[in-house]
Structure 1
Amino acid sequence: MHSFRTPEGVTLGVEHFGDPKAPLVLLVGGTTMLSWPDELCASLARGGRHVVRYDLRDSGTSTTVDPEAPAYTLRDLAADAAALARGLDDRPAHLAGVGVGGMVAQVAVLDHPDAFSALTLAGTRPVAPGPVDDDLPDHDMAVLKRRFALPMPDWSDRAAVAEFAAAGAEILGDDPAAARATAERVFDRAPSTEPAVQLANQVGLVFSKLDCAPRWRERLPELAIPALVVHGRHNRFFPVGNGEALAREIPGARLLVLEQAATAIPAAAAGEIATAMLEL
C-alpha cells in the first residue's frame, strides 16, 4: 500500500498493480478501494495496464477527518481523481468508478476532460444520492428496508462487523462469504472503530451527507471518450435501468450486463470485465 498527496494536501491511499510505465487505469473506490476485486486488478495488469485503485476520503487509508460532517463536496472528490491521474502519469488515464465512486468518476471526466481518455462505470447511476429522476428506477425499497433493519454491530468487534456485512450481502443478492472476507479487510484498514468511521468504510454513509450539487446527468452527452457501463442484472440498490440510462446518454457507450451479478462486482466476472475494459 502507498499514499498520494494531492496539491490540496489530501492524502489518498493507493495500491498499484502492473508496470508503472504502462497506460494507467485508475479505479475509484466505492468507497474503499476493495470494492474493486483483486482478480479484476490483476487481470487488467496482465492485459498491459498500470492499475491503481484508491480509497475515497474518509475511507481506508485516505484522509479521514469527520465522516459525519464532510467538509468537501462531490466536486472535490472528482478533483482528487484528476489530481491523482495527473500525478501518476503524463498521459490521460482510463478512469473507472463503482457504486458511489461511479458518481465521482462521471463528474471527474466532465469537469477534468484533459485528465482522462476512457471511462468505465460499474453499478452506478447518473444522479446523486437522494430522490431519483422519474424515468430512473429507484432502490428496491423492500430490499433496502430489510437491509437497514439489520441491527448495527459493535463496531469494535471485527467478527460482528464481518457478519453484519455478510447478512447485508445476502439480502442484496451478493455473495455473503466474499462480503465477509472483504469486510474483514476493510475493518483492518480503517483508521479506527468509531461508528462514524466504520460506517463510512463499511457502508459508505458519508455520501448521504455530501453536497453533490449541481446535477451532471444533462452533461453526459458532452462526453467524447470511449465508455463502458457494467451493471449486475440483479442489482437491487441501483437497478439495471440506471446502467441502461447511462449507456443511452453517453455517446457510443457499451453496456455490459452481468446476468449473474447483483450489487457487488463478483470476482468470477473479473475476466469478462477486464476484457471489455481493455477494448476501450
Structure 2
Amino acid sequence: MHELELPQGTVRYTDTGGAGPVVVLVHGAFVNGELWRDVVGPLGRVARVVVPELPLGSHQVALRADADLTPPGVARLLADLLAALDLREVTLVGNDTGGAICQLVATAHPERLAKLVLTNCDAYENFLPPAFRYLQLLGRLPGGIWLLAQSCRSRAVRRLPFAFGWLSATPVNRERSDAWVRPVLDDKGVRRDVSKVLRGISSRYTLRAAEQLREFHRPVLLAWGRRDRFFKPAYAERLAGDIPGARLVWFENAATFVPVDAPEQLAALIADFVHPAGKGADRLVG
C-alpha cells in the first residue's frame, strides 16, 4: 500500500507497477480496494493496475477536515491522484458509487483518460438507489454513521439486503467484509468523511454527467451484472443508448459487485478492451 499527499489529505493506493496500459479501478461506498482484489491479479499480468482508496467510508486514513467531499470534490480528488502519479492514457473502471465518480471525472477532468469502463453503478436519477437512501439520512443525523457502524459489527446484519446482502450473488467472506467495515468502526475521521460524502450526494450530478457523456467520444465499455436489484439492466441499456459507441456486455450471474461475482471474466474483458486488437485476454493465461 502506497500513500500520496494531495491537497485534500493522504490517499492510499496500490500499484502493480510495470509496463502496459494503465488501468485505475474505483470502488464504491463502504467498500475499499479489497473489492477488486481478485481482478487485480490476472489483470496485472497485462496492465499496470492502480487501485486508490477513496474517502467513501472504508478508507484507512481520514482526509483533512476541510476537504471537499461532494461528488465533484471526490472526482477532483481522483483526478488529482491521476495527475500526481502522472498517469496517462488511463482506462478508468468504476463500480457502484465509484462508477458515478468515474462519470464525473470523464466529463469534468477527461484529459488523462483514454477509455472508460462502467460496471453496475449509480447513474441518472438513481444516485443513491432508493433502498440505500437511508444512508443519506444517517449522514445528516449526529451520530448516525456511528450507529450504522455499530450495527455492522454483526456479520448477520452485513448479510441483510440493505447492507451487503444483495450486492453480490456470491457470498462475501468474513475477511473481506471485516476489511470493509473496520475503518468506519475504528476511526471518527472516517465517519466524518463518509458523512460529508453522503450529505453531498444528489442525482443532479449524475443527470448532468449523463447529458455530458453524450459528447464523450472515447471508447466506453459497460460490463453489467443482470442479477442486480439496485442498478437494474435498464440503466445499462439507457447508458449504452446515450454514450456514443458504447459497448454493453452482460454478466448473467453477477449482481452489483461484478468484481466479486465474476472477477476472472471481468479481468479478461478489461484486458481485451485496453489492448489493441482485443488480444489482452490471451495473455492472462498462465
Instruction: Confirm or deny a common fold (TM above 0.5).
Output: yes
| Selected match of 2:88 from 86, 91, 94 | 91
**1:29 lines up with 2:27 in the alignment:** yes
Q: Which residue does 1:209 correspond to in 2?
A: 199
Which whole-Å deviations, capped at 9, do the CAs of 1:29-54 have from their partners, x for residues lacking one?
213333633111112102x2111112
Superposition pairs of residues 124-203 of structure 1, within 5 angstroms? 124-127=121-124, 139=130, 155=149, 159-160=153-154, 162-168=155-161, 171-172=165-166, 174-175=168-169, 177-178=171-172, 180-190=174-184, 192=186, 197=191, 200=194
| Unaligned stretches of 5+ residues in structure 1 | 132-137, 146-151
**1:257 lines up with 2:250 in the alignment:** yes
DSSP-derived class of the 1:231 partner: strand
Question: Runs ≥4 in structure 1, deviation > 6 angstroms?
Answer: none
Structure with the higher fraction of residues in helix conformation? 2
**1:246 lines up with 2:239 in the alignment:** yes
Instruction: Tell me the amino acid that sits aligned with residue 224 of structure 1.
Output: H
Q: Which residue does 1:57 correspond to in 2?
A: 55
The offset of 1:193, in angstroms, is: 5.5
| Selected match of 1:269 from 248, 251, 262 | 262
Q: 1:128 to 1:210 in 2, by over 3 A?
A: farther
**1:225 lines up with 2:218 in the alignment:** yes
Aligned partners of 2:123, 2:25: CA distance in 1, in Å? 18
Q: 1:113 to 1:98 in 2, by over 3 A?
A: same
Which whole-Å deviations, capped at 9, do the CAs of 1:26-85 have from their partners, x for residues lacking one?
112213333633111112102x2111112222531243467xx98432111111121212
Instruction: Tell me the amino acid that sits aligned with residue 181 of structure 1.
Output: E
Paired residues, what number? Answer: 257
Which whole-Å deviations, capped at 9, do the CAs of 1:77-110 have from their partners, x for residues lacking one?
1111212122223522111111111010011011
Aligned partners of 1:157, 1:239: CA distance in 2, in Å? 27
Aligned partners of 1:179, 1:65: CA distance in 2, in Å? 32
Aligned partners of 1:154, 1:278: CA distance in 2, in Å? 37
Aligned partners of 1:62, 1:245: CA distance in 2, in Å? 36
TM-score (ref. length: structure 1): 0.77
Q: Which residue does 2:281 correspond to in 1?
A: none
